[in-house]
Structure 1
Amino acid sequence: MNCQNNLLITGASGFTGYHACKHFSDSGFNVTAISNKNSYTSKKINWKCCDLTDKASVKILIKKTKPQYVLHLAGQNHVGQSWIEPVHSLEVNSLSTAYLLDALRHENPSCKIVVTSSSLGFDPTSMSTFNNPYGLSKTIQSLIAQSFAVLYDMKVVIAKPSNLIGPGFSKGVCAVFAQKIVEMEKDQKDKPEHVLQVHNLNNQCDFLDVRDAVSAYETLLLKGKTGEIYNVSSGKRRSLEEIVKKLKEIALVDFEVRSLLKDALEKPARIEPTGLINLGWKPSIPFESSLRDILNFYRQKNNGS
């Protein structure tokens, strides 16, 4: 086994983590996958269970695994939940990152680390930009990561992904739409009229296939500049109306679309992946292919396969 190729992936049982484990193991990395739930067995991946909010457990984990690379995906990623448990979000997103970096500082300071933050972070110099506890926790996480890069000369890179989509269990809007459409397809004989209700068709976001995002993380692990923040995105805004229209085209059932709100929202700023493109990365999966793969994933799960 080549110890110089040891990669630790946190949050491995999550939506992105699943794809990351597959991608990096297929690429020849020796993957240790970390989950705070149950550990699993795999011929190609070494699964371990660890609570990243427990400082002592994190130290033991790093001492035993001695990774040369770390992809830190673990976190609390639900804005609504952050309002209910703000301190928990700070612990999971911010404090666990500090524990992980500090353990690496002691055991292997030359390790290359990609910390996945969020495009929903705030400007820490302006309190007017702080509008939810989730964004606060991810902003602090980014500051911690950058600080360790500067203060301890560690090889830390920050990735800020946009809305990731693709096959797999996700709480994202495309997955929610797909699940509802698959349910309509299954019930179309018994219920001839179907309605997909959308909060606001005018909402716009940047959507990127999770598999392209994982490819971007590999680029950052190998080529990312220490202390830099990279946008992981498509660079294109899409409205929910455009998404629903494409889903209607590839769905196996016809349905009516109802928007709860009619007013247009301000267009968000484009999230350009300029830094990543300069490193040689570019997205490769067409948006419609991503939507088709999401639908097919939930069709298979609906059929019990």
Structure 2
Amino acid sequence: MRVLVTGLEGFTGRYIQTEFEGHGHAVIGLQADLTNQEAVAAEIATVQPEAVVHLAGVAFVGHGDANAFYQVNLMGTRNLLAALGQHAPNVQTILLASSANVYGNRSEGVLSEGAAPDPANDYAVSKFAMEQMARLWADRLPLFIVRPFNYTGVGQGDKFLIPKIVAHFRDRKEIIELGNLDISRDFGDVRAVVEAYRKLIQVGPAGKTINVCSGRAHTLREVVSLCEGITGHQVEIRV
């Protein structure tokens, strides 16, 4: 398929390109600024995608500009869907990447897609708002939503949790600041995530919302202990 990917040059996008091209898909990265409605529409009309993987957005929860979450994650997605609805008659499936952050700060139990969203920060609110807005196109576009849990891999920026921990051990720093070490989280491999995205694109589960996760939880204490075992280095942890 001819697959248009937003955010192709980002962390996940690079893995998407390798995974999809490795299975015979033609991958094209969106060049237009998502906040520029006319530019997005013109590019969609030119590319004529058969499938879309929408990754682009402001992804770091600690990002300082709250407005950017809504301008890009919400309105940027709206511009994309409007362009697809008007200019992409042959699109067969559209994957919209939301986030498991929409579930909020729950620390116990298994989260199914039926769990009530309870977003606790601007990033999560913008993603949940994006999901709700996308429903306006659900009767016109074959879209579905994925809610990936935490995932990581080579090339992810050090501002994210696992790369931050790894960088402290790699650089043999003496002190690291972390939150509650005993909260369990699902940490996935980016390669498994993009494989799941590829298989979902091939199925095209229009109208569905799907959690993407490993199904296994680990505490930050376990992650730190693993790094200590690999490197032989210990750091002082400050909460």
1:11 aligns with 2:13: no
Q: Please point out which of 138, 154, 167 is paired with 1:167.
A: 154
Asked whether the 8 Å contact 1:58–1:100 carries over to 2, the reply is yes
Aligned to 2:236: 258
Aligned to 1:28: 24
Q: Please, what is the CA RMSD of the aligned residues? A: 2.1
Give the drift of 1:60: 0.7
The percentage of aligned residue pairs carrying the same residue is: 30
Larger relative contact order (CA 8 Å, sep ≥ 6): 2
When the two structures are superposed, what TM-score results if normalisation uses the length of structure 1? 0.69
Superposed displacement of residue 95, structure 1: 0.7
- Residue 70 of structure 1 aligns with which residue? 52
Matching of residue 113 in structure 1 with residue 94 in structure 2: yes
Q: Which residue identity is paired with 2:228?
A: K
Unaligned runs of 5+ in 2: 105-116
Pairwise CA distance, 1:29: 1.1
Residues 202-217 of structure 1 aligned to structure 2 (within 5 Å): 202-217=182-197
Larger radius of gyration: 1
SS in 2 for 1:67: coil
Deviation at 1:147, TM superposition (A): 2.9
Measured in 2, the distance between the counterparts of 1:63 and 1:110 equals 11
Q: Relative to 1, partners in 2 of residues 1:194 and 1:130: Cα closer, same or farther, differing over 3 Å? A: closer
Distance in 2 (CA, whole Å) between partners of 1:208 and 1:76 is 20
Which residue of the partner structure matches residue 231 of structure 1? Answer: 211
* 1:142-199 deviations in Å (ceiling 9; x for gaps): 112233113x2x1101011011111113332111111121112xxxxxxxx9455533
Q: Distance in 2 between matches of 1:217 and 1:136?
A: 23
> Equivalents in 2 of 1:80, 1:197: separation in Å?
15
Classify 1:165/1:87 alpha carbon distance in 2 versus 1 (closer, same or farther; 3 Å): same
Look up the match of 1:51.
33
List runs of 5+ in structure 1 lacking aligned partners: 35-48, 185-192, 262-305
Aligned counterparts of 1:260 and 1:237: Cα–Cα separation in 2: 22
Question: Which stretch of structure 1 is more off in the superposition, 130-139 or 196-205?
Answer: 196-205
- 1:196–1:255 Cα contact (<8 Å) kept: no
Q: Which amino acid aligns with 1:119?
A: A
2:101 counterpart letter in structure 1: L
